[in-house]
Structure 1
Amino acid sequence: MSKVEQERARARLAEFRKFDPPRFNGLSVESRVVEAWVRALEKLFEDLYIPERDRVHLVVHCLEGDAHSSWLRTRTDRFENLTWEEFRGMLYRAYFPNSVKKKFENDLKRMRQEDRSVQEYVREFVQVLNCVPSAVRDEQCKAYLIERGLRSEIYQFLQPQHFRTLDEVIEMVLWVERGAAGMKE
């Protein structure tokens, strides 16, 4: 790494630390804690416009205790070129045992809106999906799964349409719910 690159990396780290990024010690293996930590970092990356190439370098500075020790044992020779997606995959493999992944996959497939608002249902669906991103092969499957769990009075508005992405479904069901609420008033 050249002197200029080193200086840039130090400046980026100093800027990142100013925003008090969340720490992870690895003691809590509660999957939702791990997922929440990852989401908080990703939000910070977006807010600070952190490029992909800098993310792993910065996040390593957020690891403490057991998590940092685990990182030191498992980091690869290609650390310099490790992408955020690869790092996140390593983290999820370490803190999401197969039994937990299977439970999340089953939860995702069985999830129903029931008496919750669309927003509450979508929030839980996305949280579980983020814990097991490989459980659903593509955007169309995500769209199908979330549609399938909707209450019938909302689902009926979606039936004649063909959605290709999860975002399309979410946008439509939020619109339908708002429209239904407006009609009740």
Structure 2
Amino acid sequence: MTTEQPTPTTVPATSAFVLTPEAKLVREFMKFQPGYFYGGGDPEAAGKWIVSHQRFHKLMQNDDIIHAHLSEACLRGHAAVWWTTYLDIHPELATWAEFRELFYDEFIPMQVRLRLRGDFMALRQGNRSLMQYMERYRYLLRFSMDVAGTKTLKIYYFVRGVDEQIVDATVSIGATTI
């Protein structure tokens, strides 16, 4: 008595779903590990998140609207609810500039941005190393582009806060850039 083994049937290799071009772009973007934003009350984390996303988009050379949509894919928790609610009311596509402004309004309140801009205007090197000063300068500059939006003004505000001995040494060697 022989028992016949069932012959396996060949199932054609088909995908359960097909990725749209947009989904493929999101997948490529996620390879950069751009990080998620959950919302909450930490304006500094919000500022760092938006700047990191701007950097990733620059690397990918996305257009303005795709830039915003890729970042929305990284919103979670309260931040995702906020954006979904916004889109329910305003379904038109948001540009990156619009997304960033709305994001700042929601997660970095105006009084915080004004305080950070004031910190920028008052920033001095003091006891910081030059690298620490530069890091703080760059962080605060993000909230002060309305007063330091040109290259000349950025240099002016940077040099204004640097220790005088460093400025004197820099001038004596003829440095022309920061």
TM-score range, shorter chain: 0.7 to 0.9
Determine whether 1:13 maps to 2:55: no
Task: Find the counterpart in structure 1 of residue 118 from structure 2.
Answer: 106
CA distance in structure 2 between the aligned counterparts of 1:41 and 1:141, rounded to whole angstroms = 25
When the two structures are superposed, what TM-score results if normalisation uses the length of structure 1? 0.72
Residue 78 of structure 1 is matched in structure 2 by: 92
Identity among equivalent positions (%) equals 23
* CA positional deviation for 1:39: 2.2
Contact preservation (8 Å) 1:108, 1:129 = yes
Deviation track 1:108-140 (CA, whole Å, cap 9, x = no partner) reads 011111232322211111111113433435332
Q: CA RMSD in A?
A: 2.5
Unpaired segments ≥5 residues, structure 2 = 1-18
Tell me how far 1:94 sits from its aligned partner. Answer: 1.4
Alignment of 1:33-182 (within 5 A): 33-75=45-87, 76-79=90-93, 82-157=94-169, 169-170=177-178
Q: Which has the larger radius of gyration?
A: 2
Q: Is the 8 A contact 1:31 1:131 kept in 2?
A: no
What secondary structure does 1:134 align onto?
Answer: coil
Moved over 4 A (4+): 157-160
The two structures have a TM-score, normalised by structure 2, of: 0.75
Distance 1:70 1:143, change over 3 A: same
Structure 1 runs not aligned, ≥5 long:
1-5, 171-185
SS at 1:147 equivalent: helix
1:181 aligned residue: none
Alpha-carbon contact 1:147-1:169 (below 8 Å) kept: no
Do the aligned residues in 1 keep the contact of 2:148 with 2:154 (CA within 8 Å)? Answer: yes
CA drift of 1:60 comes to 0.8
Q: Which moved more, 1:68-77 or 1:146-155?
A: 68-77
**Residues 41 and 51 of structure 1, relative CA distance in 2, 3 Å threshold:** same
Match in the other structure for 2:43? 31
Secondary structure (helix, strand or coil) at the match of 2:142 reads helix
SS at match of 1:113: coil
Structure richer in helix, relative to its length: 1
The one-letter amino acid of 1:78's match is E
